A and B are shown apart, each in its own frame.
Chain A
Amino acid sequence: EADIYQTPRYLVIGTGKKITLECSQTMGHDKMYWYQQDPGMELHLIHYSYGVNSTEKGDLSSESTVSRIRTEHFPLTLESARPSHTSQYLCASSEGRGREQFFGPGTRLTVL
């Protein structure tokens, strides 16, 4: 079982609130990723990082931001949550670019 963790697992929050989704991995992977996935739908890459102090936007435009101050930690922040942000957010990491990705259990976000 991969050592990648996400908290919270479930979050219900009101419109306009600031939220941070946590993602940590203990595998020492340089590469980390955030995906957004609606139920039963495809994965959309919204952010990725190839190492400390490196962050890039993914294929799907997102109002969220990320930071990578430590190798093991890759939090995602929404400054002002909206109902359109309701989705599942999956964090992943890999040993190298193009290598297999290990996914966390996900955070299911509901914005009312």
Chain B
Amino acid sequence: GQQVMQIPQYQHVQEGEDFTTYCNSSTTLSNIQWYKQRPGGHPVFLIQLVKSGEVKKQKRLTFQFGEAKKNSSLHITATQTTDVGTYFCAGNDYKLSFGAGTTVTVRA
């Protein structure tokens, strides 16, 4: 069945630095979604990527969908304390499957 792997599981970042989290699927996806869950909160939808090689930006966040539509990445530039939380990718094949998430902590 469809599996979505996400790395790294934890990311400790110095404030102001950049980092990237990666999402890989065992199958070709029709689309991929990204969610953010703040500590103590619930997942909130960030973005959906549909096209092969698609790149979308939201302020300091850059989302990319691989050419083969089997992987995706989220790159955050100039990390701020507001970026703290867990970022989940969710791959859509015949159903939506969530990755295990990357939990981000920020050192001020």
Contacts and interface: CB of A to CB of B under 8 A. Distances in A.
A102 B96 CA distance: 13
Interface stretch (B20-28, B43-51, B52-60, B75-83): B43-51
Contacts of B88: 42-43
A101 B45 contact: yes
B33 A100 contact: yes
Which secondary structure characterizes the binding site on chain A? loop
A59 B27 CA distance: 17
Contact of A43 (B30, B33, B43, B48): B43
A104 B86 contact: no
B42 A90 contact: yes
A97 B33 contact: no
B98 A98 contact: no
Contact of B101 (A42, A90, A104, A106): A42
A38 B12 CA distance: 21
A97 B95 contact: yes
Interface string A22-41: 00000000000000000011
Interface of B: 30-31, 33, 35, 41-45, 48, 86, 88, 90, 92, 95-101, 103
